[in-house]
Chains A and B, each alone.
Chain A
């Protein structure tokens, strides 16, 4: 296969600038950073412009903005309760960022920001560290009792403590891998099947083309579903931090 035809080519990071490393950190502006700027601009424009007119009977754009607001607001109400309301802005920002990153990836020739574990792990560790700090501030030393389920016999306590600790530490890993793996697998699959269309030509290429249409629809569904799952799990973790069941 010629250059640029590999199904994994789409995940390649390209740098547009040549800034020297500062304290070992790569500060170059890449295509990933560019698409993050696009996403943030798009989210801001979408919410600001669609809410500009503030009609009592919402139009199409205003309905979409209100729908996304209500989705997250209900999610917090169902999973966390009233104590979760102060955290609405961060959860809503996370949801919109992940959703728009996933959907921007569905545009042809675009770059899927969330297909890289470095990005999703940064988001997941933001959630994980934030939630842990909230729990520590709210409950203090009692937070460490969270790792010991009620009614554990004393001889099981040390074992259970470490199992719970590892279950807790696995959260950011599962949160980040789930999003990145789903996005990467879907986009690779699309590229591979699109390659079949070209190599089978006009005579047989119609079958994979039809499948490609179906899979594109499915990928848009996965993009929304994964953003939703990411946000729901953030709410669940926040609930654990606030209530320490």
Chain B
């Protein structure tokens, strides 16, 4: 077993390690993408829920039932759109 015999196999090993690392990194960014998809889908719902619930209870308190419910619903939709915009912007900043 001389060194000359070992060297090519070591080089091959090095190459395959590098390839595996590259694959792992590629997989990682794919995972990040699916993670951000999960995040945004829930963001879409959360603002609507918060807006509707807050509006409903303000109405119940002031006895003005559909007024604040409708207003807060749309504010909540706008708020969730804003949250999604922010989270996508954050992801883009991280990539570059």
Q: Could you tell me which A residues sit within 8 Å of B by CB distance? A: 162-171, 173-174, 177-178, 181-182, 221, 225, 229, 233, 236
Contacts and interface: CB of A to CB of B under 8 A. Distances in A.
Q: How large is the interface on B (under 10, 10 to 19, 20 to 34, 35 or more residues)?
A: 20 to 34
A170 B38 contact: no
Given A162-B75, A166-B78, A174 B31 contact: no
Given A163-B79, A165-B79, A173-B46, 10 more contacts: A163-B82, A166-B54, A167-B79, A167-B80, A167-B82, A170-B79, A182-B38, A225-B31, A229-B39, A233-B39
A169 B83 CA distance: 11
A233 B36 CA distance: 12
A181 B46 CA distance: 12
Contact of A169 (B35, B45, B50): B50
A166 B49 contact: no
B47 A170 contact: yes
A170 B83 contact: yes
Contacts of A167: 47, 78-80, 82-83, 86
B39 A178 contact: yes
B66 to A, nearest CB: 18
Contact of B80 (A170, A221, A236): A170
A169 B53 CA distance: 11
Interface string B75-89: 110111011001000
Contacts of A166: 47, 50-51, 54, 72, 75-76, 78-79
B24 interface: no
Contacts of A165: 79
12 contacts: A163-B79, A166-B47, A166-B51, A170-B43, A170-B46, A170-B50, A174-B42, A174-B47, A177-B45, A178-B39, A225-B35, A236-B90
A168 B82 CA distance: 10
Interface residue SS majority, chain B? helix
A167 B47 CA distance: 6
Given A163-B82, A166-B51, A174-B83, A181 B76 contact: no
Interface string B59-83: 0000000000000100110111011
Contacts of B46: 170-171, 173-174, 177
B20 to A, nearest CB: 18
Contacts of B82: 163-164, 167
Nearest to A221: B31
A164 B42 contact: no
Contacts of A168: 79
A206 B42 CA distance: 34
Contacts of A233: 39
Nearest to A222: B38
Given A170-B46, A173-B49, A225-B31, A164 B79 contact: yes
A199 B53 CA distance: 42
A217 to B, nearest CB: 13
